[in-house]
Amino acid sequence: MLARERTDAPSNPYAASKAAAEELVAKAHNTLGLNTVITRGSNTYGPRQFPEKIISLFVANTNDGGRLFARRSRPLCKQGP
């Protein structure tokens, strides 16, 4: 099991709500003995994903035979010969 010291300092309401949810889960684990897991998904993909997000963009570009760009200035990888 990995343990982590809390080092975040939320700077907006969205970040504060995420931190509060993590704290609530941690308290439930400590006081009620619940088995818990906290994940911090990065670029989570799902229905109604905005088309400019990286996963949607990569899928669309791959399906169209396009190149994959990390910053839209350099190819992330080359396709084909």
Residues 36 and 57 placed together within one structural domain of the fold:
no
Domain identity same for 59 and 25: no
Non-local (6+) Cβ contacts of 56 within 8 A are: 45, 49, 50
Global pTM exceeds 0.85: no
Q: Are residues 55 and 72 in the same domain?
A: yes
Strand partners, 68: 77
Question: Is residue 69 a contact partner of residue 76, using CB atoms and an 8 Å limit?
Answer: yes
Could you tell me the mean pLDDT of each successive run of 10 residues in the chain, 81 residues long?
64 90 92 89 74 78 72 54 49
Q: Do 56 and 78 fall within a single domain?
A: yes
14 and 49, same domain (yes or no):
no
**Tell me, what's the pLDDT at 13?**
92
Name the residue range of residue 12's domain: 1-40
What pLDDT is attached to residue 69?
A: 64
Cα Dmax for the chain: 58
Residue 58: how many other CB atoms lie within 10 Å: 16
Indicate whether 34 and 49 sit together in one domain.
no
